[in-house]
Protein backbone atom coordinates (compact mmCIF):
# COMPACT_ATOMS: atom_id res chain seq x y z
CA UNK A 1 0.00 0.00 0.00
CA UNK A 2 2.85 2.38 0.86
CA UNK A 3 4.33 1.74 -2.56
CA UNK A 4 1.16 2.90 -4.28
CA UNK A 5 1.26 6.19 -2.34
CA UNK A 6 4.91 6.63 -3.26
CA UNK A 7 4.14 6.04 -6.92
CA UNK A 8 1.21 8.45 -6.82
CA UNK A 9 3.35 11.20 -5.30
CA UNK A 10 6.13 10.60 -7.83
CA UNK A 11 3.65 10.77 -10.72
CA UNK A 12 2.07 13.97 -9.37
CA UNK A 13 5.46 15.66 -9.16
CA UNK A 14 6.85 14.25 -12.39
CA UNK A 15 6.39 17.48 -14.32
CA UNK A 16 7.53 19.68 -11.46
CA UNK A 17 10.81 21.51 -11.88
CA UNK A 18 13.60 20.19 -9.68
CA UNK A 19 15.06 23.68 -9.31
CA UNK A 20 12.51 24.63 -6.63
CA UNK A 21 10.62 22.63 -3.97
CA UNK A 22 6.92 21.93 -4.73
CA UNK A 23 4.21 24.10 -3.21
CA UNK A 24 1.22 22.13 -4.51
CA UNK A 25 0.53 18.39 -4.39
CA UNK A 26 -2.66 16.97 -5.87
CA UNK A 27 -3.46 13.26 -5.42
CA UNK A 28 -7.21 13.32 -6.13
CA UNK A 29 -8.33 9.76 -6.87
CA UNK A 30 -4.73 8.67 -7.47
CA UNK A 31 -4.85 6.12 -4.60
CA UNK A 32 -7.64 4.15 -2.95
CA UNK A 33 -6.75 3.60 0.69
CA UNK A 34 -7.59 0.02 1.69
CA UNK A 35 -7.60 0.74 5.44
CA UNK A 36 -8.99 4.26 5.20
CA UNK A 37 -5.81 5.79 6.56
CA UNK A 38 -2.97 7.91 5.24
CA UNK A 39 0.50 6.45 4.67
CA UNK A 40 3.39 7.28 6.98
CA UNK A 41 3.57 11.04 7.63
CA UNK A 42 7.19 11.05 6.46
CA UNK A 43 5.97 10.67 2.85
CA UNK A 44 4.47 14.17 2.91
CA UNK A 45 6.74 15.77 5.48
CA UNK A 46 9.55 15.63 2.94
CA UNK A 47 7.81 18.57 1.28
CA UNK A 48 7.86 21.22 3.97
CA UNK A 49 7.14 23.97 1.43
CA UNK A 50 3.66 22.65 0.57
CA UNK A 51 0.90 25.23 0.93
CA UNK A 52 -1.78 23.31 -1.02
CA UNK A 53 -2.49 19.59 -0.52
CA UNK A 54 -5.43 17.85 -2.19
CA UNK A 55 -6.44 14.32 -1.13
CA UNK A 56 -9.95 14.13 -2.57
CA UNK A 57 -11.60 10.78 -3.28
CA UNK A 58 -8.91 8.50 -1.82
CA UNK A 59 -11.30 6.67 0.60
CA UNK A 60 -9.99 8.27 3.76
CA UNK A 61 -11.94 7.59 6.94
CA UNK A 62 -9.27 8.56 9.47
CA UNK A 63 -6.84 11.50 9.75
CA UNK A 64 -4.70 9.80 12.38
CA UNK A 65 -1.02 10.67 12.02
CA UNK A 66 -1.68 13.59 9.68
CA UNK A 67 1.67 15.01 8.46
CA UNK A 68 3.12 18.14 10.00
CA UNK A 69 3.15 20.74 7.23
CA UNK A 70 3.66 24.15 8.88
CA UNK A 71 3.17 26.17 5.67
CA UNK A 72 -0.01 24.43 4.52
CA UNK A 73 -2.76 26.97 3.76
CA UNK A 74 -5.25 24.90 1.68
CA UNK A 75 -6.32 21.34 2.38
CA UNK A 76 -8.84 19.44 0.27
CA UNK A 77 -10.30 16.26 1.79
CA UNK A 78 -13.56 16.16 -0.13
CA UNK A 79 -15.35 13.00 -1.33
CA UNK A 80 -13.99 10.79 1.42
CA UNK A 81 -15.47 8.90 4.41
CA UNK A 82 -14.38 11.14 7.25
CA UNK A 83 -16.84 11.26 10.16
CA UNK A 84 -14.70 12.81 12.89
CA UNK A 85 -11.20 12.88 14.32
CA UNK A 86 -10.57 16.45 13.09
CA UNK A 87 -8.45 17.07 16.18
CA UNK A 88 -5.65 15.36 14.24
CA UNK A 89 -5.34 18.50 12.11
CA UNK A 90 -4.76 20.53 15.25
CA UNK A 91 -2.22 18.02 16.55
CA UNK A 92 -0.36 18.30 13.25
CA UNK A 93 0.27 21.98 14.00
CA UNK A 94 -1.36 23.38 10.87
CA UNK A 95 -1.16 26.92 12.15
CA UNK A 96 -1.22 28.45 8.65
CA UNK A 97 -4.28 26.51 7.43
CA UNK A 98 -6.91 28.94 6.09
CA UNK A 99 -9.00 26.93 3.61
CA UNK A 100 -10.41 23.47 4.45
CA UNK A 101 -12.65 21.47 2.13
CA UNK A 102 -14.52 18.60 3.82
CA UNK A 103 -17.44 18.47 1.42
CA UNK A 104 -19.20 15.16 0.76
CA UNK A 105 -17.93 13.43 3.89
CA UNK A 106 -19.81 11.75 6.76
CA UNK A 107 -19.63 14.43 9.45
CA UNK A 108 -22.98 14.49 11.30
CA UNK A 109 -22.62 16.58 14.47
CA UNK A 110 -21.47 20.16 15.00
CA UNK A 111 -19.49 19.00 18.01
CA UNK A 112 -17.40 16.86 15.65
CA UNK A 113 -16.23 20.13 14.08
CA UNK A 114 -15.36 21.84 17.37
CA UNK A 115 -11.58 21.13 17.13
CA UNK A 116 -11.45 23.35 14.02
CA UNK A 117 -12.03 26.39 16.24
CA UNK A 118 -8.37 26.10 17.27
CA UNK A 119 -7.28 26.74 13.69
CA UNK A 120 -7.41 30.12 11.98
CA UNK A 121 -9.77 28.96 9.24
CA UNK A 122 -11.16 31.57 6.87
CA UNK A 123 -13.07 29.21 4.59
CA UNK A 124 -14.71 25.86 5.44
CA UNK A 125 -16.67 23.73 3.00
CA UNK A 126 -19.03 21.05 4.37
CA UNK A 127 -21.31 20.83 1.38
CA UNK A 128 -23.30 17.55 1.23
CA UNK A 129 -22.21 16.51 4.72
CA UNK A 130 -25.10 15.37 7.01
CA UNK A 131 -24.23 18.15 9.50
CA UNK A 132 -25.48 20.78 7.06
CA UNK A 133 -29.06 19.60 7.67
CA UNK A 134 -29.02 20.59 11.35
CA UNK A 135 -31.26 23.52 12.16
CA UNK A 136 -29.28 26.72 12.66
CA UNK A 137 -26.18 24.97 11.34
CA UNK A 138 -24.71 28.06 9.68
CA UNK A 139 -25.13 30.48 12.56
CA UNK A 140 -23.76 27.90 14.99
CA UNK A 141 -20.69 27.33 12.83
CA UNK A 142 -19.88 31.03 12.51
CA UNK A 143 -20.29 31.41 16.26
CA UNK A 144 -18.09 28.39 17.03
CA UNK A 145 -15.28 29.43 14.66
CA UNK A 146 -14.78 33.22 15.05
CA UNK A 147 -12.12 33.42 12.31
CA UNK A 148 -14.49 31.90 9.74
CA UNK A 149 -15.47 34.22 6.90
CA UNK A 150 -16.94 31.74 4.42
CA UNK A 151 -18.96 28.58 5.05
CA UNK A 152 -19.87 26.45 2.04
CA UNK A 153 -18.63 29.34 -0.17
CA UNK A 154 -20.98 31.91 1.40
CA UNK A 155 -20.41 34.51 4.09
CA UNK A 156 -22.51 34.98 7.25
CA UNK A 157 -25.00 37.16 5.35
CA UNK A 158 -25.57 34.48 2.72
CA UNK A 159 -23.56 36.25 0.03
CA UNK A 160 -21.70 33.92 -2.29
CA UNK A 161 -17.94 33.92 -2.20
CA UNK A 162 -16.53 35.49 -5.33
CA UNK A 163 -13.67 33.99 -7.28
CA UNK A 164 -11.87 37.32 -6.90
CA UNK A 165 -11.62 36.70 -3.15
CA UNK A 166 -9.78 33.47 -3.78
CA UNK A 167 -7.53 35.20 -6.31
CA UNK A 168 -6.71 37.94 -3.80
CA UNK A 169 -5.59 35.33 -1.28
CA UNK A 170 -3.40 33.68 -3.91
CA UNK A 171 -1.94 37.05 -4.94
CA UNK A 172 -1.14 37.88 -1.33
CA UNK A 173 0.81 34.62 -1.07
CA UNK A 174 2.72 35.43 -4.26
CA UNK A 175 3.43 38.99 -3.05
CA UNK A 176 4.92 37.67 0.18
CA UNK A 177 7.29 35.45 -1.80
CA UNK A 178 8.13 38.29 -4.23
CA UNK A 179 8.86 40.63 -1.31
CA UNK A 180 11.30 38.11 0.13
CA UNK A 181 13.03 37.76 -3.22
CA UNK A 182 13.19 41.56 -3.67
CA UNK A 183 14.72 41.95 -0.22
CA UNK A 184 17.39 39.45 -1.17
CA UNK A 185 17.98 41.22 -4.52
CA UNK A 186 18.18 44.64 -2.84
CA UNK A 187 20.67 43.35 -0.30
CA UNK A 188 22.75 41.95 -3.16
CA UNK A 189 22.57 45.25 -5.07
CA UNK A 190 23.62 47.22 -1.98
CA UNK A 191 26.65 44.99 -1.55
CA UNK A 192 27.54 45.38 -5.24
CA UNK A 193 27.20 49.16 -5.04
CA UNK A 194 29.43 49.31 -1.97
CA UNK A 195 32.02 47.21 -3.79
CA UNK A 196 31.76 49.52 -6.79
CA UNK A 197 32.27 52.61 -4.63
CA UNK A 198 35.40 51.14 -3.13
CA UNK A 199 36.74 50.48 -6.64
CA UNK A 200 35.91 54.06 -7.69
CA UNK A 201 37.83 55.41 -4.70
CA UNK A 202 40.83 53.39 -5.73
CA UNK A 203 40.57 54.71 -9.29
CA UNK A 204 40.28 58.31 -8.12
CA UNK A 205 43.51 58.22 -6.13
CA UNK A 206 45.84 58.18 -9.20
CA UNK A 207 43.83 61.04 -10.74
CA UNK A 208 44.53 63.25 -7.71
CA UNK A 209 48.23 62.48 -8.02
CA UNK A 210 48.12 63.41 -11.72
CA UNK A 211 46.41 66.69 -10.86
CA UNK A 212 49.10 67.46 -8.30
CA UNK A 213 51.83 66.76 -10.86
CA UNK A 214 50.15 68.95 -13.45
CA UNK A 215 49.89 71.80 -10.92
CA UNK A 216 53.60 71.50 -10.17
CA UNK A 217 54.47 71.61 -13.88
CA UNK A 218 52.28 74.68 -14.37
CA UNK A 219 53.95 76.47 -11.47
CA UNK A 220 57.37 75.79 -13.02
CA UNK A 221 56.25 77.26 -16.34
CA UNK A 222 54.96 80.38 -14.60
CA UNK A 223 58.27 80.80 -12.76
CA UNK A 224 60.20 80.57 -16.02
CA UNK A 225 58.00 83.15 -17.69
CA UNK A 226 58.46 85.67 -14.88
CA UNK A 227 60.91 88.48 -15.78
CA UNK A 228 64.34 87.88 -14.33
CA UNK A 229 63.49 84.46 -12.98
CA UNK A 230 64.37 80.98 -14.06
CA UNK A 231 67.46 79.69 -15.90
CA UNK A 232 68.44 81.48 -19.19
CA UNK A 233 67.65 79.71 -22.40
CA UNK A 234 69.92 79.49 -25.48
CA UNK A 235 67.75 82.04 -27.27
CA UNK A 236 68.02 84.57 -24.43
CA UNK A 237 71.84 84.19 -24.29
CA UNK A 238 72.13 84.93 -28.01
CA UNK A 239 70.07 88.07 -27.65
CA UNK A 240 72.13 89.21 -24.68
CA UNK A 241 75.42 88.75 -26.63
CA UNK A 242 73.99 90.65 -29.60
CA UNK A 243 73.04 93.54 -27.36
CA UNK A 244 76.53 93.55 -25.80
CA UNK A 245 78.19 93.76 -29.25
CA UNK A 246 75.93 96.62 -30.27
CA UNK A 247 76.76 98.47 -27.04
CA UNK A 248 80.49 98.02 -27.67
CA UNK A 249 80.22 99.40 -31.20
CA UNK A 250 78.27 102.40 -29.98
CA UNK A 251 80.84 102.97 -27.24
CA UNK A 252 83.75 102.87 -29.67
CA UNK A 253 82.08 105.27 -32.09
CA UNK A 254 81.44 107.66 -29.23
CA UNK A 255 85.09 107.48 -28.18
CA UNK A 256 86.25 108.22 -31.76
CA UNK A 257 83.93 111.18 -32.01
CA UNK A 258 85.30 112.60 -28.75
CA UNK A 259 88.91 112.22 -29.91
CA UNK A 260 88.17 114.07 -33.12
CA UNK A 261 86.57 116.91 -31.20
CA UNK A 262 89.55 117.13 -28.83
CA UNK A 263 91.97 117.35 -31.74
CA UNK A 264 90.12 120.28 -33.27
Per the CB < 8 A criterion, the answer to whether 5 and 37 are in contact is no
Per the CB < 8 A criterion, the answer to whether 38 and 4 are in contact is no
What's the confidence (pLDDT) of residue 49?
Answer: 95
86 burial class (0-12, 13-18, 19+ CB within 10 angstroms)? buried
Render pLDDT for 119-157 as a digit per residue (tens, 0 to 9): 999 999 999 999 999 999 999 999 999 999 999 999 999
92 burial class (0-12, 13-18, 19+ CB within 10 angstroms)? buried
Which CATH superfamily hosts domain 2-161?
A: Ribonuclease Inhibitor (3.80.10.10)
- The list of the chain residues with pLDDT below 50 reads 174, 177, 190, 205-206, 208, 210, 212, 214, 217-235, 264
What's the confidence (pLDDT) of residue 230?
Answer: 46
Amino acid sequence: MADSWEQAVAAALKSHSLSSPPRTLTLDGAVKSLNGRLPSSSLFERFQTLDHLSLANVRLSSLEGFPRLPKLRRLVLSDNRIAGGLGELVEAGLGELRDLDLSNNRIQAIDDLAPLAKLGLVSLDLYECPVTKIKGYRSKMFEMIPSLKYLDKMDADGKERLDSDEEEEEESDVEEIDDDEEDEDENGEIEEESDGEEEDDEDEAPESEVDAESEESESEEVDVDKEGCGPPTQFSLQNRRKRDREDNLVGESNKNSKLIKDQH
